[in-house]
Structure 1
Amino acid sequence: MAKARQKPSGMWEIGVRHPSLPNGRKYFTFETEEQANAFGEQWKTMKMGGLQPPAELLRPTGANHSLGLVVREWSNSGLAAPSQYSALGSLISEVGAVKLVDADYAWLAGYVQRLKVANNLAPNSIRHRVQALGRAIDEFARRNPKLVVQNPVRLLPKGYSTYTDVDRKLALEAGKKVKEDVERDRRLHRGEEERIIAALSGKQRDDRERGLLLPGGNALLTMFVLIVYSGLRLREAYTLRRQQIDLDAKVMRVQSSKQWRGKVVYRDVPMRQEVHAALTRYLSTRAMLPAALLFPFIEEEQGLTLTKVSQRLSARFKSAFEYAKCEDLREHDLRHEATCRWLEMRDASGNWMFRLEEVNRIMGWSSNSTMAQRYASFRGSDLAERMWSTAGKAPAAPGASGGAA
């Protein structure tokens, strides 16, 4: 009979043999060495007496499966979202050797704390890893219904990825930063849109020797106007084809970039006057067939991937924003700006132009989505200006006409 051995986690493990067990052997884990060896002696006595193991021990438990196998099966299932692949790769390298039977709540809590203190990850990055692990274990349990598998991810409390007071102390003692979720609510300030358009048009700043010359010419300028006034995602914009632009109906037929598993979904996006004018000017400088790409960025080099094109365009917009003295602005902030502009639009009577469900459809979100509320960043100065522009005569300040009560 094998003797108990201590595991890296501090627990004690002992292996027992019997022909009726899955693979002829089964491992049990105990808190102390004495408990493990006592169980081994009990098993030896039962075996020598010719007694069969309990029925629950004859069922496979998944104890010999590693988390690496579980994660790889989920990655290869075709069910994982493309955005999860990076997190799945990190999981394989970080916890791939851990046995599924050892992945209990205590272990997971320790792993989450290591991600905070040792890896010093932001809460959002921690959630990506843990959520991917949870889905992998769920799928493994569905594919192996006879296995006794627990999923500790489902036991984590709300806010588990946020740094606790203990995590903060440990991180600071290790010389690390206390990471927090960063919510982007950056909008264009007064004059920034004009400066960006001037920079993309090649206009030289007074304090620079030359203007900004970026590859793409007026294509990049037109794409900026298209995104900031319609809210298209970057990939949705540069994958547009000429036949998807209907200048007469003033509608763009946009293919959503958020679909996967081969699903192709289109939505109709109305053109604002600014977009219609920009596209009319742009198309007057270029002759193209209906199936041709509206913008030339994918065809700049042979074999360019969409990811590479997105990275290039993001870098070019960043250069333009810096040249226009908008250093803290990012390309995706333009989608936030566009969302607010759709929500703020008024008709001739001064009423709201679009309902929330219509804005969701324009932006490519489901009708019951809360993304519009998340993207909405209403400036306090705009709200104050709107309020004061419709106000009548200002009332006297409280207490101004009378003495103290």
Structure 2
Amino acid sequence: MTFADEAEGDAFAKRLDALLDRGIVPTELRANERPLNIQQLVNQYEREAHPSKKDRGALGTLLDPLGATPLTAITANWVDDWISAMKRLEKLAPATIRAKVGALARCCDWGMRKGFLVMPDHPLRTLPDGYAQYTKADEAMAGVKREDVERDRRLEPGEYEAILAVIDGGVLARKQRPLVLEHKMALKCLFVLAVESAMRLREMFTLTVAQVDMARRTVFLEKTKNGDKRQVPLSSVALAELQTFMKVEHGAAPAPATRVFPWWSGEAGDMDATSDYLSKLFIDIFAQAGAVDLKFHDCRHEATSRLFDRTTLSETQIMKITGHKSHRMLMRYANLRGSDLSAQLW
């Protein structure tokens, strides 16, 4: 910059220092932050939008092969070629392909809201159903047909009782010294609620008292994994367990903002750590109970299957309870045992 004299320059510097001390950078001094390629967009998206841990991981894998791609190059043909390359060259599973495409789509959604790019037809959002599945041509070029591995693990007879017994015992065996379980009643309530309601782990440990309506036997989920609100009815078993736990843990009249369970701090940045902690803890609990290869999310499979097994609810009604968006996704969780079905035949 140039000034008429030294006094004018000193006055400008003084005003600038005052602004900078207050954290204000004048517009004329700001660097051009408009992203021009995928790497720049992803970097700014991660700094400002705080995407999920899963999306950050998926986007991180895109930067090396795609980072230099100009935003103006993201067309339908480019997206189709990218998906073909993930199948035919990288030989990725369909679930991995969907994770990468979904993460970039959400990044571009944010970029469009910010005015960084224009995508009238949004080629990442207009893909046909099954776009990640391998066609015969994909299989021939890749030399392999990758398919999603869908878990079908359900609770076997006796496992439910064995898991409750381990929690009630309150001690997990360790090589050096036993681990004493904290919040035994909370762990038991969380497990029972998962098996009876089909709620996700994160949906449960973030619950507040205001979301639980004992009189109506429902739990109101304001924000779910799919971004939708939903109301979850409670079975008599879930209701009784939740009532007992809340009476002991919170007393007769807890404040509406009180968190039902004790693990989450309430900070968004702590959600992943809480999920990881509880998931790993339950894997150890299940292992000690003899429930081999059981994961906490399998409780959602079990709960959804029980809704088919034990009720006359329609698929549409069950989808409202579980929050599944499509019949295909619902069927992944509704693992009806062949022996149970055969018992209903003549």
| TM-score scaled by length of structure 1 | 0.60
Distance of 1:123 and 1:183 partners within structure 2:
11
Report how far residue 316 of structure 1 moved: 0.9
Structure 2 vs 1, CA of residues 358 and 319 (structure 1 numbering), >3 Å: closer, same or farther? same
Structure 2 vs 1, CA of residues 153 and 226 (structure 1 numbering), >3 Å: closer, same or farther? closer
> Is 1:358 paired with 2:317?
yes
Counterpart contact for 2:101–2:124, Cα < 8 Å? no
Structure 2 vs 1, CA of residues 179 and 324 (structure 1 numbering), >3 Å: closer, same or farther? farther
Runs (5+) with no aligned partner, structure 2: 1-35
Determine which of 220, 230, 236 is the counterpart of 2:197.
Answer: 230
Normalized per residue, which structure has more helix? 2
Map 1:196-275 onto structure 2 (within 5 A): 196-202=163-169, 213-258=180-225, 260=227, 266-275=229-238
Map 1:385-404 onto structure 2 (within 5 A): 385-387=343-345, 391=346
| TM-score scaled by length of structure 2 | 0.69
* Other-structure match for 1:90: 61
Report how far residue 267 of structure 1 moved: 3.0
> Is 1:384 paired with 2:339?
no
C-alpha offsets along residues 29-58 of structure 1, whole Å, 9 cap, x if unaligned?
Answer: xxxxxxxxxxxxxxxxxxxxxxxxxxxxxx
Q: Look up the equivalent residue of 2:286 and give its one-letter code.
A: F
* Other-structure match for 1:167: 142
Determine which of 268, 286, 300 is the counterpart of 1:321.
Answer: 286
Counterpart contact for 2:153–2:301, Cα < 8 Å? yes
Structure 2 vs 1, CA of residues 235 and 136 (structure 1 numbering), >3 Å: closer, same or farther? closer
Counterpart contact for 1:251–1:271, Cα < 8 Å? yes
Secondary structure of 1:252's match?
strand
Higher relative contact order (CA 8 A, sep 6+): 2
* Other-structure match for 1:294: 260
Determine which of 281, 284, 306 is the counterpart of 2:244.
Answer: 281
> Aligned residues: percent identity?
30
Q: Look up the equivalent residue of 2:314 and give its one-letter code.
A: R
Map 1:181-196 onto structure 2 (within 5 A): 181-196=148-163
* Other-structure match for 1:375: 333
* Other-structure match for 1:172: none
Report how far residue 88 of structure 1 moved: 2.7
Counterpart contact for 2:97–2:132, Cα < 8 Å? no
Could you say what the CA RMSD is over the residues aligned between the two structures, in angstroms?
4.5
Distance of 1:126 and 1:356 partners within structure 2:
28
* Other-structure match for 2:275: 310
Q: After the TM superposition, which of the residue ranges 212-221 and 324-333 deviates more from structure 2?
A: 212-221
Distance of 1:247 and 1:83 partners within structure 2:
34
Counterpart contact for 1:199–1:320, Cα < 8 Å? yes
Secondary structure of 2:264's match?
helix
Secondary structure of 2:343's match?
helix
Runs (5+) with no aligned partner, structure 1: 1-64, 170-177, 347-351, 392-405
Distance of 1:100 and 1:325 partners within structure 2:
52
